[in-house]
Chains A and B, each alone.
Chain A
Amino acid sequence: MDDLEALGAALPQIWQGLGITLLLTVCGALLAFVLAVGLGLGARAQNVIVRGASRVVIEFFRGTSLVVQLFFLFFVMPQLGLKLPAILCGIIGLGLNYGAYGAEVVRGSINSVPAGQWEASTALSLTRTQRMWRVIFPQAWALMIPSLNNLLIQLLKGTAIVGFITLFDLTVALDKLRIATDTFFFGAVGMVLYFAIAYVLTLAMNALEVRAKHRLGRGESLRDALRFRAPVTKGRTAA
Chain B
Amino acid sequence: MNDGLQWSWETAWEALPTLLEGFFTVTLVVTVAGSAIAVVLGLVIAMVRRVAPRPIAGIVTFFVNFIRMTPIVVQLMFAYFFFLSFDALTIGIAVFGIHYATYMAEVYRAGIDAVPRGQWEAATALSLSRGRTWGAVILPQAIRATVPALGNYVISMLKDTPFLIAITVSDMVSNALEFGGDHFRYLEPITLAGIIFLVASYPASVLIRRLEKRLEYAS
Nearest-CB residue, chain B, relative to A175: B77
Interface bin, chain B: 35 or more
Known: A79-B187, A186-B81. 7 other contacts (CB 8 A): A63-B201, A64-B197, A67-B165, A71-B190, A161-B73, A171-B74, A198-B69
**Structural contact, B78 and A195, CB atoms closer than 8 A:** no
Give per-residue flags for A47-67: 1 if the beta carbon is below 8 A from chain B beta carbons, else 0: 000000000000110111111
The interface residues of chain A lying within 8 Å CB-to-CB of B65 are 228
Interface residues of chain A, those whose CB is within 8 Å of chain B, are 59-60, 62-69, 71-72, 75-76, 79-81, 153, 156-161, 163-164, 171, 174-175, 178, 183-184, 186-187, 190-191, 194-195, 198-199, 202, 228
**8 Å CB contact of B70 from A71, A161, A195:** A195
Interface contact B70-A194, CB-CB below 8 Å: yes
Pick from A76, A187, A198: contact of B187, CB under 8 Å: A76
Q: Which of A76, A80, A81 has the most CB of B within 10 A?
A: A76
Q: Which residue of A lies closest to B75 (CB)?
A: A191
Chain B residues within CB distance 8 Å of chain A: 4-5, 65-66, 68-75, 77-78, 81-82, 159-160, 162-163, 165-166, 173, 176-177, 180, 185-187, 190-191, 193-195, 197-198, 201-202, 205
Q: Are A68 and B177 also in contact (CB < 8 A) when A174-B74, A183-B78, A191-B66 are?
A: no
Taking a contact as CB atoms under 8 Å apart, the answer to whether B73 and A75 are in contact is no
- How far is it, in angstroms, between the C-alpha of A72 and the C-alpha of B70 when the chains are bound? 25
CA distance A80 to B187 in the complex (A): 8
Q: Which residues of B contact A184 (CB under 8 A)?
A: 82
Q: Which residue of the partner chain A has the closest CB to B84? A: A183
Given contacts A67-B163, A79-B4, A199-B69, contact A72 B191 (CB under 8 A): yes
- Cα A159 to Cα B173 in complex, Å, equals 17
Given known A-B contacts A79-B185, A80-B4, A68 and B190 have beta carbons under 8 A apart: yes
| A164/B165 contact (C-beta < 8 A), A65-B173, A68-B173, A79-B5 known | yes
Most buried by A among B173, B176, B194, B195: B194
Contact in complex: A75, B180 (CB < 8 Å):
yes
User: Which residues of chain B have C-beta atoms less than 8 A from A71's C-beta?
Assistant: 173, 176-177, 186, 190, 193
Interface hub of B162, B176, B185 (most chain A Cβ within 10 A): B162
CB neighbours (8 Å) of A195 from chain B are 66, 69-70
A157 to B160 CA separation, bound complex (whole angstroms): 11
CB pair B187–A153 under 8 Å, yes or no, is no
